[in-house]
Amino acid sequence: MQKKDIVFIGFMLFALFFGAGNLIYPVALGMEAGTSYWPAIIGFVLTGVGLPIITVAAISLVRNGAVELAGRVHPLFGLIFTSIIYLAIGPFFGIPRAANVGFETGIAPWIGGVSTLGLLIFTIIFFTLVFLTSLNPSKLVDRVGQFLTPALFLAIFGLVIGSFFLLNGDVQPAQDKYSSQPFSTGFIEGYLTMDAIASLAFGIIVVTSFRDRGLTNAREITFRTVQAGLVTAIGLTSVYISIGWIGVKMATEGEYANGSAVLAGAADLMYGNLGTLLLGIIVLLACFTTCVGLTVACGQFFSKRFKSLSYKSVISVITITSLLVSNLGLNEIIAYSVPVLVFLYPIAIVLVALTFIGKTFNHSPYVYRGAVLLTGLVSLYDGLAEFGFSMNFAEPIISSLPFYEFSLSWIFPAIIGGVIGWLIAYAKAPKPTHDFQN
């Protein structure tokens, strides 16, 4: 194993993670956080970078990826939870979001802005190409990605450098929750990248890459995975901080509907039509390869898990569903994805944490079940609250939990549930018998 292999796999993981959410959320955070930018971006990086890398490391500790990890609760739970993860990063959130970012950054500036008809025509053409490319995925998409990632880096670098010299706006006061809870708000915003739950699917790709290079020792595979993850973490953190700073500087330049509009506006302000064109082409192509990669991943997962479904039929459903969801518009997709991610993320975090300490309780399913059950109850409340449901009967209980003010009220129930599960496992464990003889 050579150092360049670790760096290459780290870049590969970066390319897998780097999609639409990595572009639009940091810049939106920067605009809203203003003078509270640094605590907000630190919180964002913890969930947007730290959790995905830790999750990939956790996947390296199991042989069959996310299904095995979640299956420690129960095999059926493992299948259902992993399926929900693939649907979230696929046709329900991840793919439509990427298509919308590609449209708003690459097409909308040239057709007079976002329009319902323009989005419909674009998505029909876009997802037809995604479907045709996904039918026979080849190294072409990977090779395009290898060129696109450096090109996107250069475009972002140009925007960031330009923001220091060409954007003269003052840093504005923090807005909304960023004024009182910048760190915890940024922490929750990091969920929206979806990278931590995506890493449940991507982690096995990293592990397979190391195995293909001759590594067989489980401990060494985990160690090398962490090393590659650090390469990815440096890249993601650098990009998030840089793009977020563009948002800080753009706050006085106008009002924008979302992060993709801010990026397009920044490119136009600093470099005119040429900058808008260059950024639009790169982001559009990057979003296309992301959509193809996610479509292929979902197609392979569901066709392998459900033998009655062919790969072609699965990707047909995925692309049609993605097309329909995409036409809700980027803001609508973001709005309904937040509650679902607020529900899913704590469960994923608990599963990953238990994987690292599992040997201390012999990976007892009772511990997993107790921790996930109580975590799920609290995160379900949080998710429904994000949807706008009023649950006055439960609010006093949830608000009294430790870390509630940091939107981490699920931590204490997770610990309690795990302890209860451990006690049940201990009670059910066969006790040693002693044969006393005279």
Question: Residue 310's domain is classified under what CATH number?
Answer: 1.20.1740.10
Predicted confidence band of residue 436 (pLDDT cuts 50, 70, 90): low
- Provide the pLDDT for residue 352: 92
Place of tokens 């009220």: 409
Examine the pLDDT at 204 and tell me if it is beyond 60.
yes
Instruction: Report if residue 433 sits inside a domain.
Output: no
351 and 285 housed in the same domain:
no
Question: What pLDDT sits at residue 435?
Answer: 56
Please indicate, yes or no, if residue 436 is contained in any of the structural domains: no
Per-residue model confidence (pLDDT) at position 215: 85
Q: Could you tell me if 322 and 335 lie in one domain?
A: no
Q: Are 314 and 90 in contact (CB under 8 A)?
A: no
The Cα–Cα gap between 314 and 300 comes to 8
Same domain? 27 vs 137: yes
Count of positions (residues) in the chain: 438
Report the range out of 183-192, 295-304, 367-376, 398-407 with the highest average pLDDT: 367-376
Residue 435 domain flag? no
Task: Identify the pLDDT of residue 257.
Answer: 80
Residue 392 pLDDT level (bands cut at 50, 70, 90): confident
pLDDT at 84 over 90: yes
Task: Give the type of residue at 111.
Answer: I
Do 243 and 382 belong together in one domain? no
- pLDDT at position 286: 79
Res. 138: pLDDT tops 70? no
Please indicate, yes or no, if residue 434 is contained in any of the structural domains.
no
Give the whole-angstrom CA distance, residue 342 versus residue 333: 14
User: Residue 296: in which H helix or E strand, if any?
Assistant: helix 259-305
Q: Quick check: is 356 in a domain?
A: yes
Query: Can you give the pLDDT at residue 377?
Result: 95
Domain that holds residue 301: 3-327
Mean pLDDT of 368-384: 95
Is 42 inside any structural domain?
A: yes
Domain co-membership, 393 together with 305: no
What confidence tier does 114 reach under pLDDT thresholds 50, 70, 90?
confident
Indicate whether 335 and 323 sit together in one domain: no
Which residues are within 8 A (CB) of 408 and not within 5 positions of it... i.e. 6 or more apart? Answer: 184, 187
Whether residue 252 lies inside any domain: the answer is: yes
Same domain membership, residue 287 and residue 338: no
Question: What percentage of the chain carries pLDDT values higher than 90?
Answer: 45
Q: What is the DSSP annotation of 190-248?
A: GGGG-HHHHHHHHHHHHHHHHHHTT---HHHHHHHHHHHHHHHHHHHHHHHHHHHHHHH
Last residue of a domain, one of 327, 362, 387: 327
Same domain assignment for residues 274 and 400: no
Across 68-82, 155-169, 355-369, 371-385, least confident range: 155-169
What is the average pLDDT across 64-69?
85
Q: What pLDDT shows up at residue 233?
A: 94
Most confident of 194-198, 253-257, 364-368: 364-368
DSSP states along 162-197 = HHHHH--PPPPPP-GGGGT-HHHHHHHHGGGG-HHH
Residue 79 has pLDDT above 90, yes or no: yes
The number of domains in the chain is: 2
Residue where a domain stops, chosen among 277, 307, 327: 327
Q: Which of 297, 327, 357 is the last residue of a domain?
A: 327
341 and 247 part of one domain:
no
Residue 141, pLDDT > 70, answer no
Among 95, 88, 83, CA closest to 196: 88
Q: pLDDT per residue over 148-180, tens digit each?
A: 667 777 877 888 888 888 887 788 999 888 998
pTM of the model: 0.83
Copy the structure tokens of residue 295.
Answer: 């479509």
Asked whether residue 148 is assigned to any structural domain, the reply reads: yes
Based on the fold, state whether residues 260 and 229 are members of the same structural domain: yes
User: Is residue 145 domain-shared with residue 235, that is, in the same domain?
Assistant: yes
Same domain, 265 and 336: no
Interatomic CA distance for residues 348 and 353, integer angstroms: 9
CA–CA distances in Å: residue 432 to residues 15, 343, 425, 426? 53, 42, 15, 12
Do residues 190 and 51 touch, judged by C-beta distance below 8 A? yes
